Structure 1
């Protein structure tokens, strides 16, 4: 454990405060139209330098979703963000559509399980926005661990799975004759499919109609990326010694052991340092030339990208050990509070896997592995899609996601959206046919 690194990070941030103050004063003076320098090339260059310095040394707070409206069947519909379920480490947000009639029209529910991997759930703002016209959308809003006192207790991968099960049960109990679909982006692919398997093993009547796994590390032995290889080579003990810090005084979570968001952000930046450096050089040019649209896009992306949260040490280390070091899920060795997680138990929940051709976080085949592991699931309830020309971020955001991936997800949902009892009958019938054919 690194007991003093968090304090050093805080000291470094505060040490830059005088320089930021001077830079802000200089920028304000240089931007003033009364100042003749504001109209010169030198003035514009100095202003751009001051703005970039401020952005590189500032602290980014949690962004808001800011989704005020959506378009349903050609009509603009207001959106109200409501917390419908809450536990210490997570809030379940509902983007409630406010139709003119005052009574929301019944639509299929979509539970988006956001990653708990240092970025806030708002990283999936584009994902939520793309589905709002077609679904009643919910998303997990994970809480920054440094804001939770030790009295809130621990939170590990088993707790994460418990939360997902509880949310599925809560949404399914609000029965309106429509299906509940779930979607896990990246890291949640493992706890989501594990939660479904545990519910199926218990014959839980509140299983969702489907699960869509997008760019998730189901089996990181397939097409391993730099991230996968690092975890495999170092082992969980290395991460315990080098990546775990204690929240310092000044935060509600003082004394809690965490994996700090600033370490994760540093790792993300280091993976593609050339791309990020070039992006900031381009941003400088946009500021100097007055290209406001391009500069705004840069701000929008990095305001989100640089906004990070801390993870509990127990969740981070258990995830590293279970998913990336031991490969427990694909080996059939994963357990949840002592109970085996058997993916062969899944027989009623449709499975769609989505991967990106250029994904450098979850390589091709890692998410697809779920198709083979869910061996009891009828072929008619499975589908896989590989999106060309996108990296990890493009799997759940951007134009190709909106125009090519979303329509395929909707098409899959339409194909398998049947009452749970009907899905169970179909699954049982197809399984028996397969068993007779094998014998």
Structure 2
């Protein structure tokens, strides 16, 4: 019933939103004398604020049409490589020379499946494109996946990651940002244990809950304060008609968004209050920055119930991976089996979602890796999003990632050459 009530509320507000948009345009029309008065500007600002705070935001576009490489603009095209019911593997294809396409290192970004769309990593992708051939997992909103496609849980997620990694036949560096750090580490561990020749050259794990027991944040404490049945009975609901995924059990995006907003409610209220004042005084640049951020932040997607509950149980309640209890379809996940794949972990000093030490735990778990294949970086002065986005990421984190990738690109190449010579 919860989802149905939400949709009913959205439908009931539609006429009011439409009217607000019409009157907003009226009060902003320069031919209307009232648009030049403080009252008219305040009315237009209030109407926009009402429309934006009651709107349901849809999936944002990537909007990466070009990138600067070597001082010139190069066109970029999105191209689906693998399409599966719950995810597409997208390549950001650059119009570069054939030599560059062959020699630039490939990087697979496993985007979070935690409520927001993968476009949250738009800045990360844009910053990587000048030097790398970039691929991204584009997870699908569960409410648009028909029930006939079957369930999707954490085991399926790990299967997807392994399939995507194998597509590159070992010539790829995989990056897990936030939530995917656990399934990425699990996938690589399983491939290493099997002696799979397609293991990636390296993996970069950023701001993720490998061991949520370390420096627990408000998110971790909330999860641990509840039983799994509480989540099952209170936040799982059915997708209503007329969505393609009608009757599918999901953790709806609007509940996840409520949690995100509640964590920093004062800051979000201040941001919207500032938007009102900026609109009244005509500060278009500040208003545009607000719109750009919240168009992304307020766009959320539904997660399948089985995936959400299995993740809560495995990662936040029972801490199965760091305790050596995690299994994938009955097979133990053993990070100690990782001995060929370079490992880089990145954390933010002020991360309030994945506390310091939670990602570093991967370094402890991968105990068979020699020091030469390890690297850890703590970025001072950044929170969760600053670990993979923004000026500090570009200026301080990105150069270290670029150097790490280049090192392991050469290392695997030298190893392969040595094996060929010895044969």
TM-score of the aligned structures, taking structure 2 as reference length: 0.96
Partner residue in 2 for 1:164:
161
Alignment of 1:10-159 (within 5 A): 10-99=7-96, 104-159=101-156
Show CA shifts across 1:156-186 (max 9, x none).
Answer: 000000000000001227xxxxx41110000
Following the alignment from structure 2 to structure 1, what is the Cα–Cα distance between the partners of residues 241 and 306?
20
Unaligned runs of 5+ in 1: 174-178, 427-439
Conserved 8 A contact 1:69-1:76: yes
- In 1: Cα distance, 2:192 partner to 2:101 partner: 31
Is residue 401 from structure 1 mapped to residue 393 from structure 2 by the alignment? Answer: yes
8 A Cα contact 1:235 1:321, kept in partner:
no
How many Å separate the matches in 2 of 1:171 and 1:81? 18
Q: Tell me by how many angstroms 1:18 deviates.
A: 2.2
Instruction: Note if 1:9 corresponds to 2:1.
Output: no
Q: 8 Å contact 2:87–2:138 — kept in the other structure?
A: yes
Whole-Å separation in 2 of the counterparts to 1:370 and 1:69: 35
- Distance (whole Å) between structure 2 residues aligned to residue 101 and residue 413 of structure 1: 21
Whether contact under 8 Å (1:209, 1:418) holds in the other structure is no
Deviation at 1:71, TM superposition (A): 1.4
Q: What is the rounded CA distance, in whole Å, between the counterparts of 2:142 and 2:25 in structure 1? A: 36
- Structure 1 residue matching 2:63: 3-state secondary structure: coil
Match of 1:354 in 2: 346
Q: 1:417 Cα shift?
A: 2.1
**Distance change >3 Å, CA 204–CA 268, structure 1 → 2:** same
Which residue in the other structure is 2:190 paired with? 198
Q: What's 1:259 paired with? A: 251
Runs of 4+ in 1 over 4 A off after TM superposition: 100-103, 419-426
- 1:176 counterpart residue number: none
Distance in 2 separating the partners of 1:168 and 1:419: 19
Measure the CA separation in 2 of the matches of 1:189 and 1:23.
Answer: 43
2:301 equivalent in structure 1: 309
Give the drift of 1:17.
1.6
Cα distance in 2 between the residues matched to 1:341 and 1:100: 41
Asked if the contact 1:78/1:98 (under 8 Å) is kept, the reply is: yes
Cα pair distance change 1:102/1:223, threshold 3 Å: closer
State the partner residue of 2:276. Answer: 284
Query: Which residue in 2 is equivalent to 1:430?
Result: none
Residue aligned with 1:183, SS: strand
Task: Check whether the contact 1:347–1:424 (CA below 8 A) recurs between aligned residues.
Answer: no
Q: Does 1:389 align with 2:386?
A: no
CA distance in 2, matches of 1:172, 1:284: 52
Map 1:190-229 to 2 at 5 A. 190-229=182-221
Could you tell me how far 1:104 is from its partner in structure 2? 3.5
Deviation at 1:425, TM superposition (A): 11
C-alpha root-mean-square deviation of aligned residues, in Å? 1.6
Q: Following the alignment from structure 1 to structure 2, what is the Cα–Cα distance between the partners of residues 247 and 66?
A: 29
Work out the CA distance in 2 between the residues paired with 1:297 and 1:181. Answer: 33
Matching residue of 1:298: 290
1:321 matched to which residue of 2?
313
User: 2 CA distance for matches of 1:326 and 1:384?
Assistant: 26
8 Å contact kept, 1:214–1:354 = yes
Residues matched between the structures, number: 418
3-state secondary structure, aligned to 2:67: strand
| SS of equivalent to 1:224 | coil
Do the aligned partners of residues 423 and 238 (structure 1) sit closer, same or farther apart at CA in structure 2, a change above 3 Å counting?
farther
Q: Structure 1: how far apart are the matches of 2:272 and 2:246?
A: 34
Task: Please give the secondary structure, in 2, of the residue aligned with 1:16.
Answer: helix
Q: Distance in 1 between matches of 2:369 and 2:307?
A: 30
Does the 8 Å contact 1:216/1:362 carry over to 2? yes
TM-score, length-normalised on structure 1?
A: 0.93
Quick check: 1:238 aligned with 2:235?
no
* Structure 1 pair 98–334 and aligned structure 2 pair: CA distance change class (3 A): same
Aligned equivalents of 2:212, 2:30: Cα separation in 1 = 56
Aligned to 2:421: none
Unaligned 5+ residue runs, structure 2?
Answer: 419-423
